[in-house]
Structures are given as structure tokens and as C-alpha cells.
Amino acid sequence: MELGFFLIVPFSLLICYFLKKLWLISHNHNQNGESRVNFPPGSRGLLPYIGETLHFVAAIYSKHGFYSFVQARHLRYGNCFKTHIFGETHVFVSSTESAKEILSNDLGKFTKKYIRSIGEVIGSESLLCASHKSHKLIRRHLLDLFTSRSNADFTKQFDELVVKSLSKWEYKENVVILDEALKMSCKAMCKMLLSLEDENEVYMLQNDVSCVCQGMLAFPLKFPWTAFSKGLQARNRIMKMLEKMIQERRARRHSTVIHDSKDFLQCLVVGRECQPSSSSDTEPTLTDAQIKDNILTMIIAGQDTTGSAMSWMVKYLDDNQEVLKALQDEIHSLEKRVTDKSFLTLEDLNEMIYAAKVVKESLRMASIVPWFPRIALHDCNILGYTIKKGWNINVDARSIHCDPTLYRNPHKFDPSRFDNEAKAYSYLAFGVGGRTCLGTNLARIMMLVFLYRLLTAYKWEVTDPDSSVESWALFSRLKTGCPIRITQVYNQTN
Ligand code: HEM
């Protein structure tokens, strides 16, 4: 009787298995129960909702960070694969053709999508989360602020700030580039957006922004001790501060006292009086909620990315002394021409031809924003595979940046590869299309000014070469933060 039972169970399971297979074949479905159309390769995991979520979370905590999850599957399946995480299907694509189709989005087949916790913490009116229609309006208003005049003002402001910050290193031996770069980029954003300069206020805002960033990545659990709740609380404090500032700006508008702060907030509050507007006169101005959410968005988008990029750049230069030498030669010859002036100008930066390539190559190698999330609005076909409406489709910028058919010897740090124009859609450090980074020029300015001042003020060497990445970070960040040992450079003028 017992033996019979032990034979019947596996036998029945076997029969069930074959029946299911027969059913799937007759109904034109594959083993996962999907219709036999050509879906991208990849695994949906063993359990329905969980899918490959646990693998993804394990990658987040690994030495190589969350991107290692994508990288492993890219190696296994190629330029297009699918996975199932947090109950949703995600497709990753990494060819220039697919990047063009998705990012240019000429046919309106895709839209941007962020997970719920991101939307709640950064705000539903943020450029990152707003509906297609609102996004267009907000983006047009913000674009008006990034003029050549504001770039020129920003160059001077940022240079002043870097000179001041670097002078404080004089009595230090060791400096962590990421910490210093985050402070500098946060101060720069506060000044440009809000004319906020008070050290304490900037410090408090930086802490709140960091809580918001952590909340954006956290599980949306609203208990007082969770990162998500802390992110929301920090957001509320920032919103209150911005509300107060907006009221002050409105009051100033009617006052007879002349104020010279023409920061971004002022321009957005006062509207087209301040802007040589390209947006039509009939276009609605932004609501307070839109202004507040997008000031917060710009602080986050501008601070963390640029801070991380600077620390990667210093690490790559330290790892590649011959590049550092060529860069030093360029900067020292420029230094001879600019020493008489107090601060760098945009024209000076335009002369930093090799340095600009160093910046570009650092951003390619680091791929600070490793993939760009979108969602398919209709069933469609990408690289010969069927993509279902509602699936997440991510353009894997990092794989494109490391594709040996696009970049020879892609893991070598070689700025001179940009002597020639890169192939269309192969360089995605700032994205492409209607969602391209608004701060591309600002980021370049910050990185060039920082390079110039670092190389002319100090000699340095990285003291911890570890290239592990931080586990829970919004953007790709070095875990060590890139610590350096510095010695001051004394030139003839000292
Ligand atoms: C090295 C520094 C930076 C990098 C690598 C970077 C990268 C990017 C990328 C890749 C995107 C597009 C993402 C997508 O298409 O899904 C983006 C969007 C954006 N970036 Fe940056 N960024 C940097 C600095 C800045 C700065 C300084 C600002 C300052 C305002 C800024 C503001 C924005 C905004 C507002 C968006 C959203 C644009 C939209 O959705 O229409 N970024 N950035």
C-alpha cells in the first residue's frame, strides 16, 4: 500500500506536467504560459509575484551594486531580455537602434515611469513623474532658465565656491572627494536656484535632500522609523521652506526696494517678466506645487549626479597617470593665461579641449544613470521581440557605453576616443530626446571648473583604490567616496 502511494504521486505529477505541456502547445503558449509570440528571452523566476526580485535585492547589496543584476543577464541573453521584479515585467534593451526608438519616442509609444515611492517623495508634479502634458509645459518653463547668460553667471559663481572650498583643504592631508563634491554641488544648486547661501541653511537642506533620496529608494512603508517616512518628512520640511520663499518673492515683487536676486525661483514665481521667454505669452505659468516639486527635483538631479561624477573622474585620473599628465599640461598652459583674472569664464572653459574629453570619458565609464526607465503604452516590437503594453522597458545606457562594437577597448579610460564624433545614440550620459538632462551644460561646467582648480591647487593621490559601489544609492556612487591624500602646489605667484 505504501509502495503504491509512493509510485502514484510522482506518476501523477509526471502526467500533470505532460498534460500542461500539451495544453500550452495546443494553445500556442510557451512553458511560462505566455503566448508563443516572440517575447524577449529571460526568466520570470519561480514564484508568480516574486519573480527575480530576490536576485535583484541581492545585487543591490553586493559589492558591484544593483547594476550587476542587469549586467549578468545582459551577458546571458544579449541586447534584449526580460525579467520579473516587484510583480512587474521589465525589459532591458541595449542597442543604439532601440535607444533611438525609445528615447526619441517620435510615435508616442513610450512614457517615463518611476516607482510609486519615488513619485510620492519627490512630488507628483516633478518633471520625473508628471503626466505627458504637464511634463511638456513644465519642461518648457524650466528650459527657459538655462540660458547662455545663466551659464556664464553660474561659471563664475561655481568657481568662486570651489576656490573657497579648496582653500579649506589647506590644513587637511586627506579629503574624501565624494563628500566634498556633494557639498560643493549642493551649495551651487542652492545659490543658483534659490540664492540660498547661509551655511547652516544649506547644510540642513543638504541633509533633508539626502533623506529624500533615501526615501525615493525605500519600500513605501509609512512607519515613523522607515526611510520612506523619513523621506516624506524631509520633503515636507523642504516644501515648507520653499512655500515661505515663494511668499517672500511675491511680496518683494510689490515692494519698492530693489532686490537683485534673479535666481531660478524668482524667475519661476515672477514668470515671464524675468525670462526672455520662448514659451508663448498665452501659455499658463507654473503653479506653486509645480514650482516647488521641480526646485526639489533640480536640487536632487543636479547635486548627487555631479558629486558622484566628480569622484569617479578623480579615480579614473589616478588610475591613468598618462591621461592625468596630458590633462595637467593643458591646464597649466591655460593657467598662465588666466592667473591675472580672479575667476574662470565660459571662454576659459571652452579652451579646455582635452579636459572636456576627460569629463565625457568619465561620464561614459561611470554611467551615473545606468538605465532609463520607460513604460510601453501599446503592444510593440523592439529588436524583433514583442513588448506588451504596460511592460517596463529600460534603455540600458551602461551596456551601450561598454559595447566593444561602439567603443574600442571599452573598459580602457581613453579620453582621446572622443577625438571623433561618437555614433548617434551611443553616448547616453545625459540621455537623449525629449527627456534629455536639463543640466548638461551646468554639469560640464562644474566638472571642468573642479578639474582646473584641483589640478592647479593640489597634487594628490587616491589612498583607497577600491572600486566597489554604494549599495542603496540613487546613482552609481563609489563606496569609498574616493579618498585622496593632498599636498599643496606652490606656483610662482605664491
Ligand atoms: C554629471 C551630472 C549629471 C548627469 C550624469 C545627469 C544625467 C541625466 C540623465 C541621464 C537624464 C535623463 C534620464 C532619462 O531620460 O530617463 C537626466 C535628466 C534630468 N536632469 Fe540631469 N544629469 C546631471 C546633472 C544635472 C544637473 C546639474 C541638473 C540641474 C538642474 C540636472 C537636471 C535634470 C533634470 C531636471 C532632468 C529631468 C529632465 C526631464 O525629465 O525632462 N541634471 N539627467
Give the pLDDT confidence score for residue 282 in this predicted structure. Answer: 64
Of 301-315, 421-435, 479-493, least confident by mean pLDDT is 479-493
Per the prediction, the chain carries an average pLDDT of: 88
CA distance 15 to 12: 5
Q: How far is the CA of 292 from the centre of ligand 1 (A)?
A: 17
Compute, in angstroms, the gap from residue 354 CA to the centroid of ligand 1. Answer: 23
Q: Which of 384, 382, 365, 366 is closest to 374 using CA atoms?
A: 382
Atom of ligand 1 nearest to the CA of 436: 12
Whether residue 444 has pLDDT greater than 60: yes
Nearest CA to ligand 1 atom 18: 437
- For 201-244, how does the pLDDT look when each residue is reduced to its tens digit (9 = 90+)? 999 999 999 999 889 878 888 888 999 999 999 999 999 999 99
The set of residues, in sequence order, having a beta carbon less than 8 Å from that of 50 and lying 6+ positions away, is none
**Better-predicted residue by pLDDT, 467 or 439:** 439
Q: Which atom of ligand 1 is nearest to the CA of 428?
A: 10
Specify the residue with its C-alpha closest to ligand 1, atom 31: 439
Residue with CA closest to ligand 1 atom 3 = 305
Ligand 1 atom 43: the closest Cα is on which residue? Answer: 437
All residues at 6 or more sequence positions from 312 whose CB lies less than 8 Å from its CB, including other chains: 362, 365, 366, 368, 476, 478, 482
Longest dimension (CA), the chain: 100
Distance 372 CA to ligand 1 centre (A): 11
Q: Which atom of ligand 1 is nearest to the CA of 432?
A: 15
Could you read off the pLDDT of 3-61 as tens digits, one per residue?
A: 555 556 555 655 555 555 544 444 445 555 555 679 999 998 888 888 999 998 888 88
- Per-residue pLDDT at 170: 84
| pLDDT of the residue at 492 | 45
Complex ipTM, two decimals?
0.99
CA of 307 to the centre of ligand 1 (A): 13
Q: How many angstroms separate the alpha carbon of residue 439 from the centre of ligand 1? A: 6
CB 485 within 8 A of CB 174: yes
Q: Which of 101, 293, 305 to mutate to test the pocket of ligand 1 (most atoms within 8 A of CB)?
A: 305
Taking a C-beta distance cutoff of 8 angstroms, is the pair 185, 306 a contact?
Answer: yes
Q: Is 437 annotated as a binding residue?
A: yes
Cβ density class 315-351: b for 16+ within 10 Å, e for less: bbbbebeebbebbeebbeebbeebeeeeebebebbee
Are 362 and 313 spatial neighbours (Cβ–Cβ below 8 Å)? yes
* 87 CA distance to ligand 1 middle (Å): 28
Phi/psi at 208 (nearest 5 deg)? -65, -40
Stretch 147-152: mean pLDDT: 93
Closest atom of ligand 1 to CA, residue 128: 40
List residues near ligand 1 (CB under 6 A). 112, 127-128, 139, 297-298, 301-302, 305-306, 309, 363, 368-369, 372, 429-431, 435, 437-439, 442-443
pLDDT-based confidence at 493, cuts 50/70/90?
very low
Backbone φ and ψ of 296, nearest 5°: -60, -45
Which pLDDT score, from 0 to 100, does residue 113 have? 75
Q: Using a pLDDT cut of 70, give the percent of the chain over it.
A: 88
pLDDT tens per residue across span 347-396: 999 999 999 999 999 999 999 999 999 999 999 999 999 999 999 999 99
Q: How confident is the model at residue 142 (pLDDT cuts 50, 70, 90)?
A: very high
Least confident interval from 39-43, 133-137, 143-147, 278-282: 278-282
pLDDT reported for residue 283: 72
What is the atom index within ligand 1 of the atom nearest the CA of 139? 41
User: Ligand 1, closest atom to CA 369?
Assistant: 10
Residue with cell 554611467: 367
**Atom nearest to 446 CA in ligand 1:** 27
Mutation probe of ligand 1 site: the residue of 151, 437, 441, 450 with most atoms within 8 A of C-beta: 437
Q: Which atom of ligand 1 is nearest to the CA of 142?
A: 35
pLDDT score, position 187: 95
**What's the pLDDT at 25?**
46
Dist. CA 410 → ligand 1 center (Å)? 23
491: amino acid identity, one letter: N
Nearest CA to ligand 1 atom 9: 430
Q: Work out the average pLDDT over 63-79.
A: 91
Q: Is the distance from CB of 65 to CB of 470 less than 8 angstroms?
A: yes
> Separation of 249 CA from ligand 1 center, angstroms?
27
Residue located via cell numbers 582648480: 453
Beta-bridge partner residues of 392: 90, 375
Q: Which grid coordinates are listed for 198?
A: 547661509
Is residue 256 scored above 90 in pLDDT? no
The per-residue pLDDT for 28 is 46
Residue 109 contacts residue 77 (beta carbons within 8 Å): no
Backbone angle region of 226, left / alpha / beta, with phi > 0 → left and psi within -120 to 50 → alpha = beta
Among 172-181, 259-268, 372-381, whose mean pLDDT is lowest? 259-268
- pLDDT class of 341 with cuts at 50, 70, 90: confident
Share of the chain above pLDDT 90, in %: 66
**CA distance to 74, 367, 368, 471, per residue, from 480 (Å):** 27, 18, 16, 12
All three cell numbers of 86: 516587484
The DSSP H or E segment spanning 279 is none
State the distance from the centre of ligand 1 to the C-alpha of 181, rounded, in angstroms.
Answer: 17
Q: How far is the CA of 41 from the centre of ligand 1 (A)?
A: 31
The model scores a pTM over 0.95: no
- Confidence category of residue 297, pLDDT binned at 50, 70, 90: very high
